[in-house]
């Protein structure tokens, strides 16, 4: 299945991840062989690097890992296609700029009936590719249009929570949604890969979370390395824990609003 990873930090971090651990999940050990991508949020925009190729053999992945941009919020995804052909337009994360704000989105799971439900809808015209994940993103952005820039972020979180509750009726939906440096998370169920390469039935937890000690300015495990200039809170989110301990599985239906390394709201 697809793998998700995200970082929220109070100060910009340098994530020397190179997608190395994702790349191993992406082609050498597991079945995620259809693309990878990573977003580095910036104050008024975002860097997006992605390609429909194995992360485990990617020259672009190596380039990004050489000197990655500093960022308060990083979102990464490695894909195994279950709907939509391997193509750049179908590769996560997806990025849109609306009303002068940059929005990013990545999904693990399947929503097989979603496109049928929206047959004939104008929202389909906003999709570049043919993935249920991108359609879900377009639906979310359409819902968010009802909010004004002056509305509190809590209103955005409440709308996101209601959207996720609705999407669970269509299938498994572990979501990462970024609005600038804000990160909204929804945990559902996911399928896990067995030793023989077969996939289990979907089960909890779909996502895991880990809080890094505020005084730590450097964090390293299994190929991933995070550095920051100042001490402060950091939160990591991942499909699969990257180390023993310190990780907690999120119950199905949990939504989080993370910002600057802190949990602002949970539902």
Catalytic residues: 2
Euclidean distance between CA atoms 131 and 153, whole angstroms: 28
Taking only Cα atoms into account, the Rg of the chain, rounded to an integer number of angstroms, comes to 17
Give 178-244 as a DSSP string. EETTEEEEE---B--B-TTS-BPPPBS-S-EEEEEPTT-SEEEETTEEEEESS---EEEEESS-SSS
- Taken in order 10, 16, 21, 23, is the CA torsion positive or negative? positive
Instruction: Tell me which H or E stretch contains 46.
Output: strand 46-51
Question: Contact at 8 Å (CB) between 179 and 156?
Answer: yes
Euclidean distance between CA atoms 189 and 195, whole angstroms: 19
**Cβ neighbours around 186 below 10 Å, total:** 27
Instruction: Tell me which H or E stretch contains 140.
Output: helix 132-144
Euclidean distance between CA atoms 181 and 195, whole angstroms: 37
Euclidean distance between CA atoms 164 and 179, whole angstroms: 16
Q: Is 123 helix (H, G, I), strand (E, B) or coil?
A: helix
């Amino acid at each position: 299945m697809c793998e998700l990873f995200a970082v929220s930090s109070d100060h910009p971090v340098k994530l020397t991840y190179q997608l190395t651990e994702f790349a191993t999940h992406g082609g050498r050990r597991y079945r995620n062989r259809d693309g990878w991508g990573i977003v580095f949020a910036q104050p008024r925009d975002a860097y997006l690097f992605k390609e429909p190729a194995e992360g485990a053999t990617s020259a672009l992945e190596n380039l990004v890992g050489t000197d990655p941009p500093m960022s308060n919020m990083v979102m990464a995804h490695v894909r195994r296609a279950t709907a939509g052909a391997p193509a750049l337009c179908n590769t996560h994360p997806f990025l849109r700029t609306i009303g002068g704000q940059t929005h990013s989105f990545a999904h693990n799971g399947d929503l097989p009936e979603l496109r049928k439900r929206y047959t004939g809808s104008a929202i389909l015209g906003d999709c570049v590719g043919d993935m249920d994940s991108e359609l879900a993103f377009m639906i979310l952005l359409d819902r968010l249009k009802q909010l004004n820039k002056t509305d509190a972020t809590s209103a955005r979180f409440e709308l996101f929570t209601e959207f996720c509750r609705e999407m669970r009726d269509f299938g498994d939906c572990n979501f990462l949604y970024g609005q600038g440096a804000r990160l909204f998370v929804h945990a559902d169920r996911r399928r896990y890969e067995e030793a023989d390469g077969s996939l289990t039935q979907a089960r909890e937890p779909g996502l895991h979370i880990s809080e890094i000690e505020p005084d730590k300015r450097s964090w390293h495990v299994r190929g991933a390395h995070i550095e920051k200039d100042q001490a402060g809170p950091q939160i990591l989110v991942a499909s699969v824990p990257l180390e023993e301990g310190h990780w907690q599985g999120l119950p199905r239906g949990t939504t989080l609003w993370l910002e600057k390394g802190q949990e602002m709201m949970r539902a």
